[in-house]
Amino acid sequence: MKTWKESLQQADRERTLARAKSALGHGTKYVLGKGGRTPVDPMERESDCSGFVAWAIGIPREIPPGSGRWLQTTTYWEGGGNVGSGLFNETDRAGCEPGDLYVYPDVGRKQGHMGIISKVQSGQPVKVIHCSKGNDNRYDDAICETDPDVFARHPKSRIMKVDYMAMRALFDIPEQDSKAVEIPAPSAALKHPLFAEDATLQLVATGDLVLAPTGHIVDGCGPIQEGLNRLAEYSRAYYVELGENRRYRGYYGPKTKKALMIFQRDMGLPITGNTDSDTLLELDAILMSLDKSSEFNSETVQHTIDSPLPASF
């Protein structure tokens, strides 16, 4: 598992947007002061707007941890505040891009708000992913992609670009040397067609994200279930029931967790039920082998659907 500094070393605008999109549909609850403390872990089930944005960028909201310096809404709006100046820089609407931040500060006793621009049209932001109490009340999910009206109406709203290089410099994190370090593209890490084009699974493959059971729809879970069900043709223990017309596809619940735990056990991986990089890459490799041959190595997996989990589980 990466540290927050390793995560920050690879942070950029495109990755921020991909992480933000991966948090949609999890049934997150809005709780002020929650979220964004451990960016290398899955998105927390409780978060506020600035915690969500910190997590999407891939940094802790208290940075560095234990410093007492917090990335709050006003901190972003100010450009970095007591964390460090120049970390976030205002741009005009014509210069905004998906992955930029839309933010207004605390005013009096009213909380500020912020989100991540997800779609730009004719030089204007038209969609924003944000975590809010209003989303929670209206959609039963605090993190939603909506129109930007709540930001456009506020007189102090700013569009801010994250200066990732300045942030790395502040914490003495070296820039990746593309000539000295060969970093495979996420799409190159995954070979099987089920996984290779999924943006969320690309983040998992490179260790930037871990998917965990939530009981809700989780981006990237659907292809994992399909992959497990492909293996279930050889060992029913991996089968995940998706219901009539696959209505439960993408729901990361106990059935998917159990199938993954059995897969992890058989592959000699830590038995967590989470989808981490090692688990995904192992599943990807086996599915590729199946595509190349109609035979499956029966010595690799030697159990049936009735195989019990170890007593500790």
3-state secondary structure at position 15 = helix
Domains 4-170 and 186-292 share a fold: no
pLDDT at 311: 39
Q: Which residues contact 52 (CB under 8 A, 6 or more apart)?
A: 20, 23, 28, 35, 36, 43, 130, 131, 142, 143
Q: Where are the domains of the chain?
A: 4-170, 186-292
How is domain 4-170 classified at the CATH fold level? Answer: endopeptidase fold (from Nostoc punctiforme) (3.90.1720)
For domain 186-292, give the CATH number: 1.10.101.10
- Per-residue confidence (pLDDT) for residue 188, from 0 to 100: 57
Spell out the residues 6+ positions from residue 147 whose beta carbon is closer than 8 angstroms to its own: 126, 127, 128
Ranges of residues in the chain whose predicted pLDDT is under 50: 179-187, 295-298, 300-313
Vertex 108 angle, CA 104 and 110, to 5°: 60
Residues 63, 19: Cα–Cα separation, whole Å: 19
Q: State if pTM tops 0.75.
A: no
